[in-house]
Structure 1
């Protein structure tokens, strides 16, 4: 079911009446864990969008397009639903939680977060880069729009699965949805300001988060975060770059060399000027070379 390129329509009450719990609240709505009885107990993460979405015909058209995005590192959109003037998007549930859960903890997640090694973190960065490169290859108007560590889930073997791609295009253009979390590019003022270059900025923040182990500004509810691009620039200007790196990571000369090069990529991605940011294709290639990945 998760590998199908056809998005199913499911009854709204089927989802709302199923056993579930709140998994998190984000820019575009609340995500629930739901168990679907008519799907033989299939477990989904159901994203209930805010009520300021685009017109129904446009919504369905864009959701169908999202459902055709097939990549090994994208979390498939399996179904959607409508009722009570609200829209639901259903993704396959990932019981190992998100990158955010493992880096920063989450009392609501049903997982036992373990420290992520540099090998795991660097591979997450590479696989996410490939997934976003794939999205960008679908056309100049297609992008993720809400890339952050809480939207990157991990399989049981810690393979990255990117979720919530394209949701920004489902929200009304006048919606003020940004500058409330520290992963958005400075040029983003509303939900329709998303672009491939804003994705690159958000990916850069993710790189800095993986390297430092620190949460971006406003990324965690009721917890303080850091303006990572600003903080990193202030550190590398005055001190050796290794001060930036997560002290939980055991380091060798090879690992430190890789981290220094990845840090530079993170800085490039978060340039204020969109035109100075590299493409995701270039980033995926550079990460593959830096970390010596074969696939």
Structure 2
């Protein structure tokens, strides 16, 4: 366990990376391959200042947003008590690394007034790994150079000037040649064995998610009854099912055998989601791969996808209530936090960010889904020059990725920018049957934005609802996400911060809406800051 207490601004310099009036960062070395419980303890006086909006701050854990002053304000509105908050952090890495740094950062826009901050201190608890061990990883033993041993053997053999020694040396040379030739001759067989092995998930995956039998899946969906279908696409169908003795509702995604999402994408999604845990990522419950089936079992998202609520339900003629602007902002913030967790915490590029891959639970909390195309950024960089397979969804592609085949987290930023335009405009990224100048959402919307005619692209249900300040902030961050040069696009963490500003501006505007009251035929109007 590691703990840090006392007055934060007066900590020793060797504990801090940054120590100025606006930013403080701690760097704590921890063992790789373990989970850590990070408990943040809050200071009452600092929290009161945050609640009174005297001090806007953001607290990061491993460069990911953990909590903001707005979050504190909302949490304390209930019972007024918030003394500490727990977070789970996974430190991935190779055993030979031994340790990695865990960062805790506190950033304040206006500086820390009178030395008061909302953070009193923090504790870090090391949790046992999946082998039920708390032992630190052992350093790898130094490898011996086989060539040096061969030289020593050669010298010793040549030292004996007799026929037997010469014969032994010749035999050893022959054996050495055979040993080095075997891998080349058996390369094809080894490749086949590796390919067969890839059909099975790592043992770690089986410990983190459930493997269902085909009979269990058929029972949960009444043998894939179409009455249970809740979604479909080029990949196949999604069924609503019941598992755990009919106690749990799940979503069961059955991939077509000829689907573009092949076996590689199937296993990629299983391995990714079994390792990742975040409130804004959809949870994988299990999978089934019997009899050439590729089936994934997720937590059920009763409110469907973001795309459903933006345009799909309306086009199907369903009765639906359009999402309010505040709801849309909160959904974008949630999805952004999920992507930030992937990028900053795990170095993962989603590669298929779109409105139909953002699912909504019963409280309209956003959860990013569909990780079949995801790649680790380091792996992507090493393969970018040789790769010719560009994958994703038309309309969301980063143009720089299409041109250079270089995939980075900024490619996800571009796709997220397209989603932001969908949220504002209430229309899909591509309209195949629309007029030529309206087919591409990004081209159509950016044209109006550049002419200063943003009001022309706002969804009809939102036009009288969005405050000017909130709209300006939102459009500005969307345009930055869609910048042609990846380096000039913001990181998703910064996008989330700007969206939170837009939400706060909308809430402030709504709290001062005019009230109209009629008394004896006389209309009286005034503003109030007490509306909720």
Superposed CA offset, 1:30-58 (max 9, x none) = 241131355425332223343633299xx
Q: CA 1:112–1:145 in 2, change beyond 3 Å: closer, same or farther? A: farther
Q: 2:430 aligns with which of 217, 220, 226?
A: 217
Aligned mates of 2:476, 2:398 — CA distance in 1: 18
Q: 1:181 aligns with which of 394, 404, 407?
A: 394
Paired residue for 1:25? 233
Superposed CA offset, 1:111-157 (max 9, x none) = 853111101011111111111111112333x1222211111122222
Name the SS for the 2:373 alignment partner. helix
Contact (CA 8 Å) 1:121, 1:210: kept in 2 or not?
A: yes
Contact (CA 8 Å) 2:252, 2:298: kept in 1 or not?
A: yes
Question: 1:14 offset after TM fit, Å?
Answer: 2.6
Q: Would you say 1:82 and 2:289 are equivalent positions? A: yes
Paired residue for 1:264? 476
Q: 2:212 aligns with which of 2, 6, 10?
A: 10
Q: Would you say 1:154 and 2:356 are equivalent positions? A: no
Across the aligned residues of Structure 1 and Structure 2, the Cα RMSD in angstroms comes to 3.2
Question: 1:77 offset after TM fit, Å?
Answer: 1.2
Name the SS for the 1:73 alignment partner. coil
Q: 1:121 aligns with which of 328, 331, 348?
A: 328
Aligned mates of 1:46, 1:195 — CA distance in 2: 31
- Any stretches of 5+ residues in structure 2 without a counterpart? 1-206, 223-227, 376-386, 508-532
Name the SS for the 1:32 alignment partner. strand
Q: CA 1:205–1:107 in 2, change beyond 3 Å: closer, same or farther? A: closer
Paired residue for 2:262? 52
- Any stretches of 5+ residues in structure 1 without a counterpart? none
Aligned mates of 1:25, 1:119 — CA distance in 2: 29
Aligned mates of 2:295, 2:353 — CA distance in 1: 19
Q: CA 1:107–1:290 in 2, change beyond 3 Å: closer, same or farther? A: closer
TM normalised by structure 2 equals 0.46
Question: 1:287 offset after TM fit, Å?
Answer: 1.4
Aligned mates of 1:194, 1:291 — CA distance in 2: 31
Paired residue for 1:168? 373
Contact (CA 8 Å) 2:314, 2:320: kept in 1 or not?
A: no
> Quick one: higher RCO (CA 8 Å, sep 6+), 1 or 2?
1
Contact (CA 8 Å) 1:23, 1:108: kept in 2 or not?
A: no
Larger % of strand: which?
2
Aligned mates of 2:353, 2:340 — CA distance in 1: 13
Paired residue for 1:100? 307
**How many residue pairs align between the two structures?**
274
Question: 1:236 offset after TM fit, Å?
Answer: 1.8
Contact (CA 8 Å) 1:229, 1:267: kept in 2 or not?
A: no
Q: Decide which structure has the larger Cα Rg and report it.
A: 2
Paired residue for 1:282? 494
Contact (CA 8 Å) 1:186, 1:272: kept in 2 or not?
A: yes
